[in-house]
Structure 1
Amino acid sequence: MRPTFNHTGFSLIEMIIVIAITAIVGSMVAVFLRVPLESYVAQDRRARLTDTADTALRRMARDIRLALPNSVRVTTVGSVVYLEFLGTRSGGRYRAQGNDNLDFTNPAGDGSFDVLGPPIDMQAGDRIAVYNLGIPGADAWAVGTPGDTLAAYTGPTGSVSNIAIASKQFPLASPGNRFQVVDGPVSYVCNPGAGTLTRYWGYAIAAAQPTVFAAATPRALLANRVSVPVGSPCSFDYQPGVTERGGLVSMTLNLSQADETVRLVATTQVSNQP
């Protein structure tokens, strides 16, 4: 005699009812979760934009603080803003009297001088600046003129206590016997059309501020998504005489994504005591 089994299941109508109820419950849950999820995504987006803008402005501020005194300059072409300065790595004091002092009176120039204090770390391609005032007759940007305040370093790399330079008569002596070691020009370019903030370096010093850079020029992208809102998406402003011995660089950067814009403003003091 075969055993009898009772088979149970569900009908098509029951399955449709379950699907309908599940869809209704899911729709109700989605309504309540949509706003918190959108808020979380928006907050995360704003945090990322703020972090990018803050990192870029902090990098700019760190570089600007090391700028050669009186070397900062700003120009604008269309909506693109350019900020340029001569970066320094170190500095010290030169010997003004005695053995191998820096001579400012010899028209033929001086080719070396002793460093007062600890040795200076020098690298190939460095330049020595003395009393750069950023005015005609004492301007580091006046390349190849009598008012040029830069001299090319010609000595060995490494730590040195005597600095050899291409023979030069500097225009003016520093009241504090100071000199700076310049490693080259640096430009920050904010281009709203391309949506980028880019750092350029490793190019030649020129009297006119460059607004076009060769493809081989070293560069680093600091920020993208630079916005193009009504008004100024980015601005650099330099005021050279805010204090007796310093200037002020003001920087504004707007970054946008998904119809949201983050605006950060920062200021950096520039030491203009040569």
Structure 2
Amino acid sequence: MKRTHGFTLVEMIITIVLVGIVGAILTLQIKPALQSYQSVARRANLVNQADTAIKRMVTDVRSAVPNSLNMTATPAGICMEMVPTVAGGRYRVEPDTTNPDASRAYDPGATDKVFDVLTALPNVARGDIVVIGNQSTDDLYKTRSNMAPIKAMTAPDASIGVVRVELETSAPFSARDDGARFVVVPQNQQVVGYLCAGGNGRLAGGDGKGTLLRTVRKLTDPGQCPTAGTPAVVASKVADCGFVYRESEGATQQSGYLQLRLGLANGDESVTLTAGAHVENVP
């Protein structure tokens, strides 16, 4: 008769105890490493979100129409709006000396609103808006006397210009730009805004309670940074959000300085980034 080999109850208990001790030791060693890894991942994600959001805002600001940056306190939060551009260039201010009848110079008092452009206009289409000589936010958001939508663009003789622009409206522009400059505003994104919605601070779990939104509206639409519809979320879990803009005075009044502050929080991890941007307000 063969003897059956196996584990005794005592051996099994000892094995279970040893495995438990080893598991507890491994847990004590691995748990902090896992927690540290998760914390680093959360922090890196917050830094990436904040950095991307600030860079996007600065990019929009630097491509905006001069003197279009506008700060407003709304019931939904702090609103920063601007009028973006997709192109720009210089227009002809005097007829071509060798072919004056064929060339078309810009005339603030003309009624046909056709003029030659001395630079190419990529990414510009019918309905986009030409802005000339903008001096203040009121020119854009209230009177709108220095802009007109594009009706058509043609290619004149290469010797007198690159593009001939025909505008929809016959109302004259209010002024001529000293540098013969103009910019073009896209018809589908006439006013872009950034809204610090939800306020600053944290929720009970440690996450930021606010949201940074990017809004779009037309120049004729009332209200700043509208929240109707579905504004794009630029950053979530916002714990601190603020914009400060100061225009220079005196001889340097055609420049300004914008300071952006964005703080994000996720649980016990948080990050706050600040950035500054010089704003060129030469029309």
> TM-score, normalized by length of structure 2?
0.82
**Equivalent residue, structure 1, for 2:159:** none
- The answer for unaligned runs of 5 or more in structure 1 is 228-232
In structure 2, do the counterparts of structure 1 residues 170 and 154 end up closer, same or farther at CA, with 3 Å as the change threshold?
Answer: same
Matched, 1:131 2:133: yes
SS of 1:52 mapped into structure 2: helix
Q: After superposition, what is the alpha-carbon deviation per residue over 1:167-209, rounded to whole angstroms, capped at 9, x for unaligned?
A: 12211211111111111111111213563212122x2204865
CA distance in 1, matches of 2:184, 2:69: 16
Moved over 3 A (4+): 117-121, 156-160, 206-209, 242-245
Q: 1:121 to 1:6 in 2, by over 3 A?
A: closer
Whether 2:261 is the aligned partner of 1:258: answer no
Match of 1:235 in 2: 242
Change (3 A) 1:211 1:173: same
Contact 1:90–1:120 (CA under 8 A) maintained in structure 2: yes
Matched, 1:223 2:240: no
SS in 2 for 1:51: helix
Instruction: Report the RMSD for the aligned CA atoms in angstroms.
Output: 2.5
Residue 161 of structure 1 aligns with which residue?
A: 163
Structure 2: runs of 5+ lacking an equivalent? 96-102, 157-161, 200-208
**Partner AA of 1:189 in structure 2:** L
Distance, in Å, in 2 between the alignment partners of 1:261 and 1:158 is 55
Counterpart amino acid of residue 123 in structure 1: A
Shift of 1:72: 0.4
The within-5 A match list for 1:65-104 is 65-78=62-75, 80-98=77-95, 99-104=103-108
**Change over 3 Å in CA distance of 1:168–1:121 after alignment to 2:** farther
Identity of aligned residues (%): 34
Give the alignment partner of residue 196 of structure 1, picking from 206, 211, 222. Answer: 211
1:178 aligned partner: 181
Deviates more, 1:174-183 or 1:113-122: 113-122
Name the CA distance, whole Å, in 1 between partners of 2:228 and 2:154.
Answer: 28
8 Å Cα contact 1:80-1:192 kept in structure 2 = yes
Aligned to 2:202: none
Give the total of aligned pairs: 256
Query: In the alignment, is the contact (CA less than 8 A) between 2:88 and 2:121 conserved in 1?
Result: no
